[in-house]
Amino acid sequence: MADRDGISLADSVRYRSSGRPLSRGCSGPANANAQSPLLRGIRDYGREGYLADPDFARGVGGLAEFDLILDLDCAWEEMPLARDLALRVPEVTVVLEHTGYPRDTQSPEYFAHWKSGIEAIAEAPNVLCKISGLGMNRVGWTVNGLAPWVEHCVQTFGPDRCMFGSNWSVDRLYASYDAYVNAFRSPTSL
């Protein structure tokens, strides 16, 4: 698939997956690829400590020039650093991926830590939460089991800063697409 100027989504994705981190900026091929109306944002899988790296923050800030979002992969332990990064680049929309990648949806202690991380990252007004991926570490999940996670996101971020997503096809290991989507209709219709 390519846009009218011949810049393909595959080329845009290849640029990011080529290993050039955002800490090296958004110049060169990124300028051409960012012109594609098919490209909406960048997901940068960073190395340890990348959220506090000033070069990474400059690279993220460069996304604003192209009106691109940052899809952010981070767990609860990194959410205060992610908040600080988002506050340094208020002109960039940051989307917290997969509800912050909960690794243990069974432990009350883990849930308490995750909640504090969500509360920290939600302090940055330019961060949105993609409510997704909650079933990927939980065989036999139920609507009642997912509801507290969804409810905390909606209460903390507010409904205008939350969106629903799936982690398809990983989620299909645990349920059908219809079951997954219907499970989220119940908690989010509060």
- The C-alpha atoms of residue 12 and residue 131 are separated, in whole angstroms, by 25
Residue 136 clears pLDDT 50, i.e. is over it: yes
pLDDT at 70: 93
For range 108-116, the mean pLDDT:
96
Radius of gyration for the alpha carbons in the chain, expressed in angstroms and rounded: 17
- pLDDT tens-place string over residues 7-19: 444 444 333 433 4
Of 30-34, 101-105, 113-117, the poorest mean pLDDT is in 30-34
Per domain, the residue ranges of the chain are: 1-57, 73-188
List the CATH code of the domain at 73-188.
3.20.20.140
* E strand segments, 27-173: 41-43, 69-72, 94-96, 127-131, 162-164
pTM to 2 decimal places: 0.82
Nearest to 72 by CA among 58, 60, 55, 61: 60
2 forms beta bridges with: 8
